[in-house]
Amino acid sequence: MRKPKLEVGQRVGTFFDKNSCFSAKPRYDSTYGEDPVFGKITEVLTGGKVRVQFDREYLNEAVHDTKTGKLISRQPALVEAKLFLPEEEVKAKFSILEKEYDLVAKQVRDKLKIAAQAIREAQKLAKKELGTNLSEMYDAYDYLYNAMDAAGWRTSSFGC
């Protein structure tokens, strides 16, 4: 698929990758709320670069006073054209990702409800039979600890 030609005045958008850098690859991340960003092309330059006046002001290039270092203004950001698509195309792709995410998130929530109930029951058992908290029984829950770590949770605080 050929990238559309970008023109001055055109509304464009892009996505963020997992490192919060611009990316042409559509991505949905509900954790950090990194929705696509949009702006208007103010200049098309040679070498595959464009200047974009972003709607989110902080993404535009800061201009500072050379003597005081104070922020004077912001100007359109110099970025790689290949990272941008027409605004409507970005919105359409992101909408699809949101719907896909919602479908999977519902299934994940259902599975985690079952896991949560099992943990509550294990806590009741530990308290009733041993008078202790489940959190003090590492050898009984280490596989859960490891599974959560493998799923991306950094579980070091579990042992505190």
Cα–Cα distance for residue pair 63/57, rounded to 1 Å: 12
Cα–Cα distance for residue pair 89/94, rounded to 1 Å: 9
Q: What's the whole-model pTM score?
A: 0.69
Could you say which residues of the chain have pLDDT below 50?
A: 1
The answer to whether the CB of 91 falls within 8 A of the CB of 15 is: no
Cα–Cα distance for residue pair 158/5, rounded to 1 Å: 52
pLDDT at site 135: 83
Phi, then psi, of 103 in degrees rounded to 5: -65, -45
pLDDT at site 160: 54
The answer to whether the CB of 79 falls within 8 A of the CB of 90 is: no
pLDDT at site 156: 63
Q: Which two tokens stand for residue 36?
A: 């696509």
The answer to whether the CB of 155 falls within 8 A of the CB of 148 is: yes
Partner residues linked to 62 by β-bridges = 74
Domain ranges of the chain: 11-96, 103-152
